[in-house]
Amino acid sequence: MVGIVAKQAKTQRRPNLTQSLIKEIRERITSGALKPGDKLPTEQKLVEEFGVSRTVIREAVAGLRADGLIEARHGVGVFVLDAPARNDGFRYLDVDPSRVSSIVEALELRAAVEVEAAAIAAQRCSPGQEARIRECFQDMLNVAKGTAAEVDLDFAFHIAIADATNNSQFTKFLEFLGQRTIPRSQIKRPDESIEDVTRREQRLNDEHRAIMEAVCNRDAEAAREAMRVHLIGSQERYRRLIALAG
C-alpha cells in the first residue's frame, strides 16, 4: 500500500493524492480496521507511511472531518467517530449545489456562527493553534489555483479558526455543513478571464490574511469584523452571480 501511494505521489496531481488518502482511511474505518474511538497515527507517522506531504495529510484529515468520520481533540489527537448517521435529523441544513441561492443561504448561516467564533478564537487561541492557522493560510497561498485542493485548504483554514475557540461545538457545526459551504467548491464561471480569477483569488487571500492576523494578534473585535467582511463579501459576490443567471 505504501508503494502504491508513493507511486501516486510521483504521477498524480495533489488533489488526486488527497482523494486517494481519504479513500484509504475511509476504507479502514468502514472495514473495521479502524474502530470508533481509535486514534489515528500522528501527522508525521502518516507522512512516513503514505509518502506524501504534510499538506496532503491535512487536506485528507479536513475532508474526513467534513464527512463526520473523525474528530480532532485539542492536545490529544484525531479519533474515529461512530457512523455519521447522527446527522440524519439535520438534513434540512443540507446545501443544494444546484441552486446558487442555497450557497448564499449557507453563507448567511455560517456568518451567524463564524463571526463570533473568530472573536472567541482571538481570545482563546493557543500558540499551537496560532501556528496551525498560519500554516493553513500559507498552504492556501502555495496551492495551485483552480484545483480541488484550494477548497480543501480553504475549509481547513476555517476549521482551524473554529478549533481555536476551544469550544468543540463550533468545529462540529462547521464540519457538519462541510466543504459544500465553501462557495468556490460549487460555482465555476466558464466566462471568467485569467485576470478575473487572479483578482478574486487576491481578494480572498487578503480577506483570509485579515482574519489570521486579527486572531493571532488576539484582537477579538478585529477578528469579528474580518470574518464578517469575508463572509458577507462572499454572500454579495454570489448574489451577483444569481442576478447574472437571471
Do both 121 and 225 map to the same domain? Answer: yes
Q: What pLDDT is attached to residue 90?
A: 45
Q: What pLDDT is attached to residue 86?
A: 44
Give a yes or no: residue 44 inside a domain: yes
Do both 126 and 190 map to the same domain? Answer: yes
Lowest-pLDDT range of 59-68, 140-149, 225-234: 140-149
Q: What pLDDT is attached to residue 100?
A: 58
Q: Identity (one letter) of the amino acid at 92? A: Y
Do both 80 and 103 map to the same domain? Answer: no
Give the whole-angstrom CA distance, residue 122 versus residue 212.
9
Give a yes or no: residue 195 inside a domain: yes
Do both 120 and 78 map to the same domain? Answer: no
Give the whole-angstrom CA distance, residue 219 versus residue 77.
28
DSSP letter assigned to residue 233: H
pLDDT class of 180 with cuts at 50, 70, 90: low
Do both 211 and 237 map to the same domain? Answer: yes
Do both 72 and 111 map to the same domain? Answer: no
DSSP-assigned states of every residue in 177-213: H-GGGSGGGT---TT--HHHHHHHHHHHHHHHHHHHH
Q: What is the CATH number of the domain that holds 48?
A: 1.10.10.10
Give a yes or no: residue 67 inside a domain: yes
Give the whole-angstrom CA distance, residue 220 versus residue 84.
33
Q: How many domains does the chain have?
A: 2
Q: Which residue has the higher pLDDT, 187 or 230?
A: 230
Q: What pLDDT is attached to residue 9?
A: 39
User: How big is the chain by its Cα radius of gyration, in Å?
Assistant: 18
Q: Which residue has the higher pLDDT, 87 or 242?
A: 242
CA 205 to chain centre: 15
Q: What pLDDT is attached to residue 11?
A: 37
Q: What pLDDT is attached to residue 3?
A: 44
Percentage of the residues of the chain whose pLDDT score is greater than 90: 33
- Burial (CB count <10 Å: 0-12, 13-18, 19+), residue 71: middle
- Checking if the pLDDT of 75 tops 80, the result is no
pLDDT class of 10 with cuts at 50, 70, 90: very low
- Checking if the pLDDT of 24 tops 60, the result is yes
Please give the model's pTM, rounded to 2 decimal places.
Answer: 0.66
Q: What is the CATH number of the domain that holds 168?
A: 1.20.120.530
| Domain enclosing residue 6, as ranges | 2-84
Q: 33-61: per-residue pLDDT in tens?
A: 899 999 999 989 999 999 988 888 888 88
Give a yes or no: residue 231 inside a domain: yes
- Rounded to 10 deg, the angle between the 168-177 and 100-124 helix axes is 160
Do both 237 and 208 map to the same domain? Answer: yes
Give which of 133, 134, 145 is closest to 202, Cα–Cα.
145
Do both 39 and 131 map to the same domain? Answer: no
Q: What's the 3-state SS for 132-185?
A: HHHHHHHHHHHCCCCCHHHHHHHHHHHHHHHHCCCCHHHHHHHHHHCHHHCHHH
Give the whole-angstrom CA distance, residue 107 versus residue 126.
27
Give which of 184, 152, 159, 193 is closest to 74, Cα–Cα.
159
Give a yes or no: residue 89 inside a domain: no
Give a yes or no: residue 132 inside a domain: yes
What are 193's strand-pairing partners? Answer: none
DSSP letter assigned to residue 218: T
- Checking if the pLDDT of 137 tops 90, the result is yes
Supply the mean pLDDT for the chain: 80
- Checking if the pLDDT of 171 tops 70, the result is yes
Q: What pLDDT is attached to residue 212?
A: 98
Give a yes or no: residue 74 inside a domain: yes
Give which of 170, 208, 184, 187 is closest to 65, Cα–Cα.
170
Give which of 118, 225, 99, 223 is closest to 161, Cα–Cα.
118
- Checking if the pLDDT of 138 tops 90, the result is yes
- Burial (CB count <10 Å: 0-12, 13-18, 19+), residue 245: exposed
Mean pLDDT within 101-117: 86
